[in-house]
Structure 1
């Protein structure tokens, strides 16, 4: 099936004044042509990609693109707009717009076709042809000529290269890597923009590695070894970044390579001749998405924030698995399991099952259950305890990994283990993770003899960094951090009545502020870090955090069912599944609503989260499980208080968001919803 037909083309059309209007209209074309099962789902996917990074490119062109389960055939929809729209391009509003729609999970053939179009959009002759086309047939012919052009497939498969300069000339050899999140368009446009710019220069030899969806073929190691500088134009992490260790580097988001290829090449040439230029560290894993767009240098605050989020994301599986196993241990073995789980698990077996009285530390302890149930409960609980014992070390180790790559993992884990040993808890784990990452990154930049270079990432960096972290914790930071954790634990344990309600309100606001972002994760980390202690205050905090995090998706789902006319078709579609995400404690289910209308959605969600937190803490609801939502009610006490808190918060959020959208309407959303109803 052709990737574009005349029914997918609109010439000199007015599709609205916003990116949402244009993308929705083009998604409607794709759906009308029978190439997508749902126009709203396709539009929602493209708008979500647009929210990550505007898709305007030089030439007053925009290329909104996405992969979606709604797409059945790789498709291009095109509009030449009579009223240009701002897609965030570098030279003003865009009047040429392609919607690039790819099937989710499809093969690479169609991605190669789409990447060919993207590469053509950096050529002025192709853009001129689109702008001067008289009919839809002319557009189809222009696009077909490009995607069927001889030699382009080879170009998409292999690293792009500028012609080598003549021997004897003063040439700077540069290797570039381009990559974007979807790997469909910007990856290849950036590669060709850099390559075309380098072709007109006699002082530069450039090779580009495209790390996209259609293909990735690594640059030859000999070319990398001979390179004088490296350009990373990426919005995602560079694959096998260690290959470029020690090379001067210029780093930026991928769109900068499209908009300012000459400037980036000039910066790479300057870096090659500057002994003090920033270099790729051995094993460094910092993502270029953390790079400040202004000067190509990474922002340290942003890098550290992202590193902590990486640590939290790697820690969560330990928390989820361990916490749920603890909850199952209580369910099977009884709620007095914590009184002697270790003795039961180690002193007994399937052939030597315990009675209801077990010897624990020389004293007989009576349990409510006995036999197989008590033994299996102890085994589950013991397994969960072992998983939970890793959470601080995992947080520290993977925070260090995000800053320094693999050499940071060992000292990060060591620092986390020391934090547990001296009682510094998760605060100590955060400190040691950041410290280990920064120290490992610093040591990785040392200039060492070649004979030592191979030992740096596996021996020298972990050894010296672990030594620094250990000495710092034992001799300097350990006791102050232990004092902070002890004081915090004592304060939480003393909370009751109105003070507990205030804490619940604060936690509820944090969980609903950014729906899975840093603030949400900070509240979740605060709750899970104390769960392994088993004290009542920690379990109440866990229940509050989980209940508040469930409210936004459920509330938005309820609101879309109650007042459909206030929401776009894409939001109505999202509302059909958001309630299930909410019941499962996946706060991110509300992100599409918040991204489309943050001024109305986020305050509404925070109001409901605050109510949920206050009710949960006021009723003393406790949870032994760190995740699972309503599916772990067996681990929540009292369960009815947990459900009451969720219902109260959901009602407040749903009513608030409906009221705000009714009495303070979003004009673009209102127009789109009205158009859908009229259609």
Structure 2
């Protein structure tokens, strides 16, 4: 089967006057009907619009390919429309369309996937497209297609391509970000849309905060062409042994989905091999900075539930207690307060060992977990050789920084033990993970942490004393810097650096820093939402509709809601959001607001210190950001 087998001169309209999507679809459907293969025109039209609702079928270079699978289609067919003047098919399409190809296939047929793939390959030839634009008659148009298809594919049938991939998904993907809240699902959606646009069947597994969803099966893995892993934390990869695998950052999944899918389909991706029952090192080169960032974020993402759940519970204890009963025992004076503080402490007090444990696990897999946890305990207690010599197992806690260090040291210690024992007799393979790694790793991390804890304790105490001694102006400046950092890349490394600093301050008892960080992160989506609401002529209809969602995302402290707007217009959106976030962070510090939970948005406002002024700080920054953004944006002439 060839493309010309699906076309006829009656199903091609050249230089036909149409002005919008509705007219385009109506004309193309009338051309499809000439094939006599559509039993229910209304049902087919509904299927076309349903597909457009998922994502625009605009391909590139002024070419759009509306398509639908429907039970009312008895056999595959094509229709072609070349409008008299280019048409803006969808508001968000990169440019107007000058060629339309509509595909109709039965519901039990995947021919459209491979037909799309063949057409896209042909349409990449600029000379071919130019000939389509200048063809005088439908017959000449058909001849141009036939000649190009013959030149590129010879006698190869579309159906022949279909048989090789008739079952399963051609490309599989896994997406994961450190917090598992926004980037994970944004990357999954981008990959899914890119697959539909390119005609590449794709399934995406998401490793988010709510657990793993849409899990890839062994059968799907065996049948696919390759796998894309777009993740900023470690995911389970041993199951992909023997398959072509691309390792990429989660941001690449959001911004470069088509490039990733096309690379898999190119066949130039290295085959991934697992070693010793656990993932081998990634075949693609990865910078040292990103490797460290990935390990750190693996620890942070596992630590957050302990900090959030425990921190909110402890905050509730102070909310429900009576300070007048015993000021020295505030938080434990009443039974309900004692309950919340005790339960909260059961989680919050172990945030440092959890952080250390999962950094180590990210580096050395499961053997690193116990060693990292023990290192985190030693970092938390500040245990050192001098204290042990006098019978004291506790010292000055090294805090967050010591736990970070212990996690990395523990992970690479276990990796070193794996390396030096890998040539032991095979008969001892069972002893290595059960005895050598945990015992040797535990003793080594104990020596290291007891040696460096005094220094880490001094550093941690110095940072705490510096934060506590900061005057009004200095604290306001710190709040402005941290708030602004939350908007620089909205979930990226700079944002995460500010967030990690806030969490570290939280662990040290500086609750005002965390308050400034969270309010700064809430501003970007809210500023954009306000601008789309009160300055609608600055935005497209689609941007205005999506702006409403940003109210929810901003109030929930999901900064990533602003990413699509920042990506589309970074020179205006980013400076506006940074200024707005800096204003909110500075005001939060000025008003003395505090926060014991590192996440939650408006849901943790009841446990915020000075909540009324915290709302004022948030509103002020959001309004400032919205006003600046609206002044910078040009009024659109194509919207009403």
Question: Shorter-chain TM-score: which interval?
Answer: 0.5 to 0.7
Matches within 5 A, 1:127-166: 127=122, 152=162, 155=165, 157=167
Q: CA separation in 1, counterparts of 2:323 and 2:62?
A: 65
Q: CA separation in 1, counterparts of 2:428 and 2:197?
A: 40
1:472 aligns with 2:444: no
Q: CA separation in 1, counterparts of 2:245 and 2:99?
A: 31
Q: CA separation in 2, counterparts of 1:407 and 1:466?
A: 11
1:496 corresponds in structure 2 to 471
What's the offset of the Cα at 1:676? 4.2
Moved more, 307-316 or 460-469: 460-469
The answer as to whether partners of 2:321 and 2:337 remain within 8 angstroms in 1 is yes
The answer as to whether partners of 2:299 and 2:356 remain within 8 angstroms in 1 is yes
What's the offset of the Cα at 1:635? 2.0
What's the offset of the Cα at 1:128? 7.7
What's the offset of the Cα at 1:239? 6.9
1:461 corresponds in structure 2 to 437
1:523 aligns with 2:511: no
**Which of the residues 312, 322, 326 maps onto 2:310?**
322
For structure 2, list consecutive stretches of 5 or more residues without a partner in the other structure: 1-5, 30-43, 68-77, 89-96, 133-137, 150-155, 176-187, 207-213, 249-256, 383-396
Change beyond 3 A, Cα 1:640–1:284: same
What's the offset of the Cα at 1:123? 5.7
1:650 corresponds in structure 2 to 622
Q: CA separation in 2, counterparts of 1:95 and 1:447?
A: 65
2:209 corresponds in structure 1 to none
The answer as to whether partners of 1:327 and 1:624 remain within 8 angstroms in 2 is yes
1:434 aligns with 2:408: yes
1:361 corresponds in structure 2 to none
Q: CA separation in 2, counterparts of 1:532 and 1:329?
A: 17
1:597 aligns with 2:551: no
1:425 corresponds in structure 2 to 399
**Which of the residues 537, 541, 559 maps onto 2:531?**
559
What's the offset of the Cα at 1:615? 1.6
| Matched residue SS, 2:375 | helix
Offset from partner CA, 1:295-333 (integer Å, 9 cap, x none) = x22323212212212222222211111111112112222
Matches within 5 A, 1:203-282: 216-218=216-218, 234-235=229-230, 240-242=236-238, 252=247, 255=259, 258-259=262-263, 264=268, 280=275, 282=277
Offset from partner CA, 1:571-619 (integer Å, 9 cap, x none) = 2112212123222322223222222212111111111111112222122
The answer as to whether partners of 2:513 and 2:589 remain within 8 angstroms in 1 is yes
What's the offset of the Cα at 1:632? 3.2
Change beyond 3 A, Cα 1:5–1:378: farther
Q: CA separation in 2, counterparts of 1:77 and 1:409?
A: 59
Q: CA separation in 2, counterparts of 1:554 and 1:649?
A: 9
What's the offset of the Cα at 1:652? 1.4
The answer as to whether partners of 2:313 and 2:344 remain within 8 angstroms in 1 is yes
**Which of the residues 506, 512, 530 maps onto 2:481?**
506
2:556 corresponds in structure 1 to 584
2:349 corresponds in structure 1 to 389
Offset from partner CA, 1:466-524 (integer Å, 9 cap, x none) = 3333322222x322222211100000011122111111111111222222222222322
What's the offset of the Cα at 1:421? 1.3
Offset from partner CA, 1:131-185 (integer Å, 9 cap, x none) = 79969x999xx9xxx999599588454699xxxxxxxxxxxxxxx9876846758
1:352 corresponds in structure 2 to none
Change beyond 3 A, Cα 1:495–1:243: same
What's the offset of the Cα at 1:408? 2.6
The answer as to whether partners of 1:608 and 1:653 remain within 8 angstroms in 2 is yes
What's the offset of the Cα at 1:252? 4.9
1:486 aligns with 2:461: yes
1:621 aligns with 2:593: yes
1:575 corresponds in structure 2 to 547
Q: CA separation in 2, counterparts of 1:377 and 1:456?
A: 47
1:203 corresponds in structure 2 to none
1:363 corresponds in structure 2 to none
The answer as to whether partners of 1:515 and 1:591 remain within 8 angstroms in 2 is yes
Change beyond 3 A, Cα 1:315–1:675: same
| Matched residue SS, 1:385 | helix
| Matched residue SS, 1:627 | coil
The answer as to whether partners of 1:527 and 1:541 remain within 8 angstroms in 2 is yes
The answer as to whether partners of 2:479 and 2:585 remain within 8 angstroms in 1 is yes
What's the offset of the Cα at 1:191? 14
TM score, norm. by length of structure 2? 0.65
Q: CA separation in 2, counterparts of 1:529 and 1:614?
A: 19
Q: CA separation in 1, counterparts of 2:274 and 2:263?
A: 24
Change beyond 3 A, Cα 1:60–1:637: closer
TM score, norm. by length of structure 1? 0.62
Matched residues, number: 526
What's the offset of the Cα at 1:657? 0.7
| Matched residue SS, 2:311 | helix
**Which of the residues 330, 333, 337 maps onto 1:377?**
337
What's the offset of the Cα at 1:448? 4.4
1:545 aligns with 2:517: yes
1:312 corresponds in structure 2 to 300
| Matched residue SS, 1:307 | helix
Q: CA separation in 2, counterparts of 1:544 and 1:573?
A: 29
| Matched residue SS, 1:511 | helix
Q: CA separation in 1, counterparts of 2:81 and 2:234?
A: 34
Superposed CA RMSD in Å reads 5.6
1:340 corresponds in structure 2 to 329
2:74 corresponds in structure 1 to none
The answer as to whether partners of 2:400 and 2:507 remain within 8 angstroms in 1 is no
Q: CA separation in 2, counterparts of 1:543 and 1:151?
A: 57
The answer as to whether partners of 1:159 and 1:219 remain within 8 angstroms in 2 is no
The answer as to whether partners of 1:177 and 1:238 remain within 8 angstroms in 2 is no
Matches within 5 A, 1:9-88: 33-34=45-46, 42=54
Q: CA separation in 1, counterparts of 2:524 and 2:501?
A: 20
What's the offset of the Cα at 1:455? 4.6
